[in-house]
C-alpha cells in the first residue's frame, strides 16, 4: 500500500496540492457494470465544496469532477477510474514561503521531513485533497447500493444544541478564532459478516480512514469512549430471536464486534480539532529561525468539522465497499 | 496487505487460535544486525501474561516465546523472524460449540461470516493472539532504540483515582461483572518527520493499530476528543526558538501534525470496553435458534484493559518502527 | 497492491484507455529534492512515441506529459506525482463494438471477465498505457542516478543481424503481417545488495515488471534459458580479488544471485510476440456468436517489440529504484 | 506486501533457515469450509522431499508438515493457517562461516547486503524454504478444485529425450558437476476471466512466482521465446464457434491474453540453472579477502530442477487460487 493510497482491494490513490493546477485520484478495483456519471459524483462534491456559506472558507472552487477513464457509455468497465478536479481559485500570494510556521499546520513537519515544501495553500496537507476522497466515496456508494451512509455534525465547540451553532460560529468568526466539532456517521444496511479478524478488522480500517482526515484527533465506534466507563452488564447488546433473524437490544457495539459487522447500523464518531488557521496571532518561529507571530490571512473555515461530514461519509463508504469485496473474495456471493 | 497482517514495511503476520496447539507469527522486514534474544521478548510477554494476579484471568499460560528463524548467534539477520508460543493450559470443554452466543463476543459474526467457527476459547478472536503482538512489539522497540514507549491504565470503570481501583475491581469480580478502562501510551524520543501525508499518516496507522486490539472502541491522539470542544486559539501548540531547536508551549497535538511527528512525545489514548465474558446472565440466542441466556463460566479478566496496556505499547512500537523505516526509505538516513 | 499498480515502496498507479480523453498515472513514494521537469520525461516519451517511422503505427500522438503535482519549483516534494498525457489522435470508428474478436488481443477475455468492454482502440489493454510507464520510469532513473539503463532490440523475427531488419520489416508490412522481437536491457551501476530473499527477489520483480508489458511472453535473467542447457562448472561466475573489490569472470547470473544484485550489470531479456493486429484475415468469432474473420484495419506497428524497448527500460528503472528504497529502509544508507 | 510474502489476497508468508530448528509459513485469506488435513499436504511435500533417490540430495528430511491453526475439525475456518516443518537432518559443520564464497550461491550478496549471514546450509537462501511453498500450494489446489496442475521436467542439460537422463545424471554426479533443467507446468481447467489488466496480470504474477524459485533464470508463457521468432499470422490462436462456446485452433498464448485467462490450459515453462553446489573447484574469494577455491562438500542435487517441478506446481497453484479470489471480489460468483 503506497503512502498516498487508501484501501485493500478497492483502492483510492490521490495526488495534488492546494494551489497546483489540479487535484485528482485513481479508484482501482471497482466492479464492472455499475452505472456511473459525473453528475452523481458532483452531488457529493457540492456538499463539501467551499464558498457556499459564511461558515466555510470563501475560496470559490467549482470542484467540477471529470472522469477520464474506467467508464464507457455510462457504466464502469472494471478498469481504473481516473479523476481530475481543476484548481481554479488559487491565490498563492497569500502563502509566502518565508512566513512563520503556522502552529497546528503541517508547515514545520513537512520542512523537516522533506527539506522543503510547496507552501502554497498548505500544499499537499491542505484539506482540498479531501475533494478527491468525496469523489471516490461517491463511487464506493454505488458498490454498496443497499447501504445508506449519513454523517452529521452533532457538536460544535462543545455545544450539541444545533440552534445555538449559528451564533457561536458568528462570534468565533468575528473573534478571528475557530472551533472544533464532532461528526457522527451512521451506515445503515450493512449485512452481518463484513470485516475480518485481527488486523483486517472493519473498525480498524474505519479508524485509519477517519483519523487520516485533516484535523481529526479522535475516532470511536458505537458507544466508544463511554464503554470504558461502563460495566460489562450494561455495555453488551443482548440478542433475541426476531421474526427476520436475531435482533439486538441496543447498539453499544456500533454494529461491529470482533472486527466484523453484526448487521446493525455501523456508527462512527469523529473529533475534529478547531481550524488551525486563525486570524489571532499565535507565537511561532520562522523557517529561517527566530521567533515570530503566525497570523493567517488566507481564507478559511471557522469550523473545519462542518465540511468534514461529507468527507467522513466518503471514507466510511470506501471502507465498507472495500470490505464487501474482501468478503466476497473469501466467502463468495452467498451469505 | 493480508488480513492477518499488520504494517507496511515492517510487517507482523500472526496465526493461532486460543485453544489450538500454539500461536505464532512472522515479523518481516526487520533490519539486520540487531541484538535480539528470547529473554528480551519474554520480559514484555510476562507483562501481558494471564494468571499473574486476581484481576486477570486465572488461565495459566507460561507464554514462552521461541524464535525459530531470522536470528543467528544473537543478532537479527534481516530475514523473516518466525515466532511460536505454545498453548499449554487450554480447557476446551469450557466452550461447547452449541452454547448460546456470548453478546459482545465474535461468536455470532464468525458463524455468520464463515458458516462455522472454532468455538474453543474464542478461537481466533481470543485476546490470546495479542501475545504475538507483544512479541513483535518487543523486537520493534529494538529498531527504535532511542524511543521509549510506555502505556499505563489511566481510568478503570470511569475512575481515575488509582487508589480506588483495587476495591472497584474486587466488587466487580464478586458481582460477576466487568469494567472498561482507558489506557494512555506515551512514546518519547520520536524525532520530527516520521509519518507521511494523506493516507500514510502516522496517526492513521496508530488508530488502526489500536482500534484493532480486542475490546477497543475508541482511539484519540493528544487532546483528542477534547479538541472538538476547544477554540483554535487554545488547541494549538505555540512554537518558540529553544537552545536545541524549536520548542512547543504544549502538546495538544499529541506529537503529530499533518500525519507527521513533530518531535514531541507521541500520545495515544485508547478506550477498552468491559470484558465481554461475565458471569451474569445476558439474553442471547442459540446457534441453532431460540432464545437463551449466555453465562460465561470460562476464566476471564474482570477488566481486559489492564492487560491491554502492554498490547498498546507493542502496537505503538510496531507503527513507529515501521515509520522509521518508511522515512529512511524515502528521505535517507540524514534528518 | 491494487491491480492497476506496480511497485512496493515506489509505486506507479495508472489509468486511461486508448481512446478516452487522456491517460495518466500517479508515482508515489518518490524521494524529495530531486530535480525534475517535463522536458526530461518528454525525452523518454519521444523514444516510445508512435508515428515516428514507417515501422511503428502511424497514429499521431504528441504524448505530451504534464506533471500536475508533487513537484515545486523544479524539485520533487516527496508527495505523489500526478501525471497526465492527453489523447489527441483517437479514431474510434476504427473499432466497432460488434467487430469479430481479434485473436491475440484481449477483446474476448475482457468481454467474458467484465461482461462488456470499451472497444475503442483496445481500451485499457492498448499498448498506449505504456506511455505512462515510460513517464514513471523517467522519474525512477533520477532516483538511481548512478545506474545507466539501456535496452535494445537484439532480434527481430528471429533475425539477429540488424542490417537485415529493414528489409524484413518492409516485407512483413507489405504482407499485412507482423513479427516478434527480443529486447535486451542492461542496467549498469547497480551496487551489490539490492533485492531481498524469497519473494521480494530483484529478479522476481523484474520478471513481473517485464512480463506485464503488452505482448511479452517470456523473460530471462543473464544467460536465462541457456543455463538450463549448461553444466554447473560453466554456468557459474567465478570470483577473484580485484583492486576495487571482488570481480567476476563472467556474468551468466545477469547480475543477480539469490534475488540480490551482485554489483555486476543486471541483464534482462524479454520476448515480444508479433503484433496481434494484422491485416491478414484470422478466423475468429463475433461477440454475438458465429464464426467470422478478424481483419485489422486500424493503425499498428508491424513489430511491437521495437517500441517495447523504452518500456522495458522504464520498468527496469522502476524496479531498481524501488529496490534502492527498500534496501535503504532495511539496511540504511551505509553499504 | 512484505518481502517474505507472496500473493495479493491469498498470501503465503514464510520463515526459516536451512539449518534452524524449523521452517514454516502462514497462509492467509483461505476461504472457509474447505476440507483439509495434513495427509493431503504431505503427499505433495513427499514429491519435493530430498533423500528419495540418488539424483537428489541425500539429506534425510521427513518434511512432516504440521498445521497449527486455521483448521477446525478438518475444515478451514477462514483464519490464517500456521504451518511448521521441523528441520531434522541439519549438519551445520558442513558450512563453516569462513569458507570461500560459493559462486552461484547467495553467500556473497547476503554478506554485502546485511553485513553478515547465517552460513549454515545456505540459511534463508536454501531451497529448503520451498517446502513451505509446496505446503501452501497444496492448500491452494483445494481452493481451485476444478483446476488440475501438473509440472514435469521436459529437458535436463539440454537433453529432451527422457530415456537418456539417467545416464546423463550419473555422469554428471560422478564428475562432481551439475546440470540445468526445464520444467513445464500445465494448469487445466482455468476458466476464462482470471487475471487483471496492466499490473495485476495473471502472467506477470506467474512470472514473479516462478522467477522467485531458487535457481530459476527464465520464465515463459505458452510459446514464449519462440513467439519472438514467429510471424503474427502464425503466433495467433484462431477462434471458432464450438458446441460449448469458443474453441481455439492452438494455444500459442499459453492460456493467457492481455493478462487474463482464455479458458485454455495455462502453460508456463521455467528454466532452472544447474545446481550451484558442485564438487569441482571454482575460483572464488574468502569472506575475509583473498583468492580461494570453492569446493562444495555438503549434500546436493546434481540437478535442482528435478525437485523444482513440485515447487513450480505449488507457485502456479498459489497464483491461480489468488486470482480466483480476486476475480470473485471484483466480478462476483457469476461468470
Taking only the tens place, the pLDDT of each residue in C175-189 is: 999 999 999 999 999
pLDDT, position B335: 41
In angstroms, the separation between the Cα of residue A14 and the nearest Cα of chain C is 7
A127 annotated among ligand-binding-site residues: no
Tell me if C125 sits within 8 A of C110, measured CB to CB.
Answer: yes
Q: Closest to C333 (Cβ–Cβ): which among B29, B78, B333?
A: B333
pLDDT tens-digit series, residues B109-163: 999 999 999 988 889 999 999 999 999 999 999 999 999 999 999 999 999 999 9
Say if the Cβ atoms of B257 and A106 lie within 8 Å: yes
How many Å apart are CA D138 and CA D315, to the nearest integer? 10
How many Å apart are CA B151 and CA B186, to the nearest integer? 6
Segments in chain A below pLDDT 70: 50-58, 91-95, 298-299, 334-335
Say if the Cβ atoms of D332 and A331 lie within 8 Å: no
CA D34 to chain centre: 23
How many Å apart are CA D299 and CA D91, to the nearest integer? 10
The answer to whether D77 contacts chain A (CB < 8 Å) is no
CA of C256: how far to CAs of B217, C196, D212, D311, in Å?
A: 48, 11, 12, 21
pLDDT tens-digit series, residues D209-263: 999 999 999 999 999 999 999 999 999 999 999 998 899 999 999 999 999 999 9
C94 pLDDT higher than 70: no
How many Å apart are CA B30 and CA B71, to the nearest integer? 10
pLDDT, position C184: 98
Burial of D139 (0-12, 13-18, 19+ CB in 10 A): buried
pLDDT tens-digit series, residues C21-69: 999 999 999 999 999 999 999 999 999 886 666 666 667 788 999 999 9
* Closest residue by Cα to residue D274 from D192, D168, D189: D168
pLDDT tens-digit series, residues D289-324: 999 999 877 667 899 999 999 999 999 999 999 999
How many Å apart are CA A329 and CA A141, to the nearest integer? 19
pLDDT, position A298: 66
The answer to whether D61 contacts chain C (CB < 8 Å) is no
The three-point CA angle B81-B84-B87 to 5° equals 165
What's the domain count of chain C?
1
Say if the Cβ atoms of D22 and B82 lie within 8 Å: yes
**Which chains contact B through at least 3 pairs of Cβ atoms less than 8 Å apart?**
A, C, D
Q: Looking at beta carbons, which residues of chain B come within 8 Å of C334?
A: 333
Interface A-C: count of C-beta contacts within 8 A: 164
Burial of A50 (0-12, 13-18, 19+ CB in 10 A): buried
Question: How many CB atoms within 10 Å of residue D163?
Answer: 7
In angstroms, the separation between the Cα of residue A73 and the nearest Cα of chain B is 32
C301 pLDDT higher than 70: yes
The residue with cell 521495437 is: C306
Structural domain harbouring D51: 5-331
Collect contacts of C63-69 with beta carbons under 8 A, ≥24 apart.
Answer: C63/C131, C65/C38, C65/C41, C65/C135, C66/A21, C66/C38, C67/C36, C67/C37, C67/C38, C67/C41, C68/A15, C68/A16, C68/A20, C68/A21, C68/A22, C68/A24, C68/A84, C69/A15, C69/A16, C69/A17, C69/A20, C69/A22, C69/A23, C69/A124
The three-point CA angle D277-D278-D282 to 5° equals 100
D288 annotated among ligand-binding-site residues: no
Interface probe for A, chosen from C1, C8, C17 (most Cβ of A below 10 Å), is C17
The answer to whether C18 contacts chain D (CB < 8 Å) is no
Say if the Cβ atoms of C329 and B333 lie within 8 Å: no
B 258-277 residues with CB < 8 A to D: none
Say if the Cβ atoms of A329 and D332 lie within 8 Å: no
Q: Looking at beta carbons, which residues of chain C come within 8 Å of B79?
A: 197-198
pLDDT tens-digit series, residues C223-239: 999 999 999 999 999 99
Interface probe for A, chosen from C10, C68, C136 (most Cβ of A below 10 Å), is C68
Question: Looking at residues D111-125, what average pLDDT do you find?
Answer: 93
How many Å apart are CA C244 and CA C263, to the nearest integer? 12
Q: Closest to A109 (Cβ–Cβ): which among B200, B258, B282?
A: B258
Tell me if B197 sits within 8 A of B258, measured CB to CB.
Answer: yes
For chain D, counts of helices (H) and of strands (E) = 7, 17
How many Å apart are CA B49 and CA B163, to the nearest integer? 23
How many Å apart are CA B316 and CA B313, to the nearest integer? 5
How many Å apart are CA D303 and CA D96, to the nearest integer? 24
Check which CATH number belongs to the domain holding B34 and give it.
3.60.150.10
* Closest residue by Cα to residue A115 from B193, B263, B325: B193
**D200 to chain A: nearest residue by CA?**
A29
Interface C-D: count of C-beta contacts within 8 A: 382
Q: Closest to D109 (Cβ–Cβ): which among C1, C101, C193?
A: C193
Q: Closest to C77 (Cβ–Cβ): which among A14, A23, A114?
A: A114
CA B302 to chain centre: 18
CA of B16: how far to CAs of A133, A256, B24, D26, in Å?
A: 36, 22, 6, 10
The alpha helices in A91-176, defined as continuous H runs, are 107-114, 130-143, 165-174
Tell me if A23 sits within 8 A of A88, measured CB to CB.
Answer: no
Question: How many CB atoms within 10 Å of residue A86?
Answer: 17
The three-point CA angle B279-B284-B285 to 5° equals 130
The answer to whether A199 contacts chain D (CB < 8 Å) is no
Quote the cell numbers at residue A182.
Answer: 464532532
Reported as a pLDDT band with limits 50, 70 and 90, residue C208 is: very high
State the DSSP code for A228: G
D213 Cβ neighbours under 8 A, 6+ residues apart: D130, D133, D270, D272, D308, D311, D312, D315
Q: Please give the share of chain D, as a percent, with pLDDT higher than 90.
A: 86
Give the DSSP H/E element, type plus range, for residue A267. Answer: strand A266-272
Q: Closest to C29 (Cβ–Cβ): which among B29, B330, B334?
A: B330
pLDDT, position A335: 42
First vs last Cα of chain B: how many Å apart?
29
Segments in chain B below pLDDT 50: 335
Question: Looking at residues D11-31, what average pLDDT do you find?
Answer: 97
Mean pLDDT of chain D: 93
Say if the Cβ atoms of A22 and C68 lie within 8 Å: yes
D 107-146 residues with CB < 8 A to A: none
Tell me if A251 sits within 8 A of A237, measured CB to CB.
Answer: yes
How many Å apart are CA C221 and CA C218, to the nearest integer? 11
Helix axes B130-143, B304-331, angle to 10 degrees: 40
Q: SS in 3 state form for A22-81? A: EEEEEEECCCCCCECCHHHHHHHHHHHCCCCCCCCCCCCCCCCEEECCCEECCEECCCCE
* Closest residue by Cα to residue D199 from C216, B126, B287: C216
CA dihedral A225, A226, A230, A233 (to 10 degrees): -100
The answer to whether B7 contacts chain D (CB < 8 Å) is yes
Say if the Cβ atoms of C220 and D278 lie within 8 Å: no
**B214 to chain A: nearest residue by CA?**
A258
Interface probe for C, chosen from B330, B331, B334 (most Cβ of C below 10 Å), is B330
Say if the Cβ atoms of B77 and D123 lie within 8 Å: yes
How many Å apart are CA A117 and CA A107, to the nearest integer? 8
Question: How many CB atoms within 10 Å of residue A59?
Answer: 21
Interface probe for A, chosen from B218, B247, B319 (most Cβ of A below 10 Å), is B218
How many Å apart are CA C195 and CA C260, to the nearest integer? 4
C171 Cβ neighbours under 8 A, 6+ residues apart: none
Quote the cell numbers at residue C176.
Answer: 499485412
A91 annotated among ligand-binding-site residues: no
pLDDT, position C335: 42
Q: Looking at beta carbons, which residues of chain C come within 8 Å of B198?
A: 80
How many Å apart are CA C58 and CA C55, to the nearest integer? 9
A93 annotated among ligand-binding-site residues: no
B52 annotated among ligand-binding-site residues: no
Tell me if A314 sits within 8 A of A140, measured CB to CB.
Answer: yes
DSSP-assigned beta bridge partners for residue D5 = D13
In angstroms, the separation between the Cα of residue C214 and the nearest Cα of chain B is 27
Burial of C151 (0-12, 13-18, 19+ CB in 10 A): buried
How many residues in chain B?
Answer: 335
Burial of B9 (0-12, 13-18, 19+ CB in 10 A): buried
Amino acid at each position: 500500500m503506497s503512502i498516498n493510497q487508501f484501501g485493500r482491494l478497492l483502492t483510492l490513490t490521490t495526488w495534488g496540492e492546494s494551489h497546483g493546477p489540479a487535484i485528482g485520484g485513481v479508484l482501482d478495483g471497482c466492479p464492472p457494470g455499475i452505472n456511473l456519471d459525473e453528475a452523481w459524483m458532483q452531488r457529493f462534491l457540492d456538499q463539501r465544496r467551499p464558498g457556499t456559506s459564511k461558515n466555510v472558507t470563501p475560496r470559490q472552487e467549482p470542484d467540477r469532477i471529470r472522469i477520464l477513464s474506467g467508464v464507457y457509455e455510462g457504466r464502469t468497465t472494471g478498469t481504473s477510474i481516473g479523476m481530475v478536479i481543476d484548481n481554479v481559485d488559487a491565490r498563492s500570494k497569500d502563502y509566502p514561503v518565508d512566513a512563520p510556521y503556522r502552529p497546528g499546520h503541517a508547515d514545520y513537519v513537512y520542512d523537516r521531513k522533506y527539506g522543503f515544501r510547496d507552501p502554497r495553500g498548505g500544499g499537499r496537507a491542505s484539506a482540498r485533497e479531501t475533494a478527491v476522497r468525496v469523489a471516490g466515496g461517491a463511487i464506493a456508494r454505488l458498490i454498496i447500493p443497499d447501504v445508506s451512509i449519513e454523517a452529521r455534525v452533532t457538536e460544535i465547540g462543545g455545544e450539541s444544541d444545533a440552534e445555538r451553532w449559528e451564533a457561536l460560529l458568528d462570534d468565533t468568526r468575528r473573534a478571528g478564532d475557530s472551533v472544533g466539532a464532532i461528526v457522527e456517521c451512521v451506515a445503515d444496511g450493512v449485512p452481518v459478516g463484513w470485516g475480518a479478524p485481527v488486523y483486517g478488522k472493519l473498525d480498524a480500517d474505519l479508524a485509519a480512514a477517519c483519523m487520516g482526515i485533516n484535523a481529526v484527533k479522535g475516532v470511536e465506534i458505537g458507544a466508544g469512549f463511554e464503554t470504558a466507563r461502563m460495566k460489562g452488564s450494561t455495555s453488551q447488546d443482548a440478542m433475541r430471536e426476531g421474526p427476520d433473524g436475531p435482533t439486538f437490544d441496543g447498539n453499544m457495539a456500533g454494529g461491529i464486534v470482533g472486527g466484523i459487522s453484526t448487521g446493525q447500523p455501523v456508527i462512527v464518531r469523529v473529533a475534529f480539532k478547531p481550524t488551525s488557521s486563525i486570524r489571532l496571532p499565535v507565537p511561532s518561529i520562522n523557517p529561517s529561525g527566530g521567533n515570530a507571530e503566525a497570523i493567517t490571512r488566507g481564507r478559511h473555515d471557522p469550523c473545519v468539522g462542518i465540511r468534514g461530514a461529507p468527507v467522513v461519509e466518503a471514507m466510511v463508504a470506501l471502507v465498507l465497499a472495500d470490505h464487501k469485496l474482501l468478503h466476497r473474495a473469501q466467502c463468495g456471493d452467498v451469505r
